[in-house]
């Protein structure tokens, strides 16, 4: 099986997810529990290791009460 290197969008997603979670003052474990996602999977998202499905992007965005596109938007 061929492995691909993470692209820029995955890095942007990871950075934004980490930033939104930190702004809420939650640990990875607490936020993952809140959105009913496995903690190790969520940690992989924050580290840019996971190729996240659109459904999981929506799930994470709902947990932050934001529009999903904001997780994919590069910060200024």
Decide which of 4 and 58 is more confident.
58
Q: Which residues contact 31 (CB under 8 A, 6 or more apart)?
A: 21, 24, 42, 63
Confidence (pLDDT) at 49: 95
Residue 42 in this model has a pLDDT that exceeds 90: yes
Domains of the chain, by residue range, sit at 28-76
Q: What is the domain class of 28-76 according to CATH?
A: mainly alpha
Q: What is the pLDDT of residues 45-68, one digit of tens each?
A: 999 999 999 999 999 999 999 999
How would residue 4 be classed by pLDDT, with cut points 50, 70 and 90? low
Q: What is the pTM of this model?
A: 0.89
Burial of 17 (0-12, 13-18, 19+ CB in 10 A): buried
């Amino acid at each position: 099986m061929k492995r691909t290197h993470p692209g820029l969008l995955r890095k942007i997603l990871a950075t934004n997810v980490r930033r939104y979670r930190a702004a809420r003052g939650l640990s990875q474990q607490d936020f993952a529990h809140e959105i009913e996602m496995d903690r190790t999977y969520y940690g992989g998202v924050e580290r840019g290791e996971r190729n996240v499905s659109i459904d999981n992007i929506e799930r994470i965005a709902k947990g932050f009460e934001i529009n999903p596109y904001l997780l994919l938007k590069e910060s200024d």
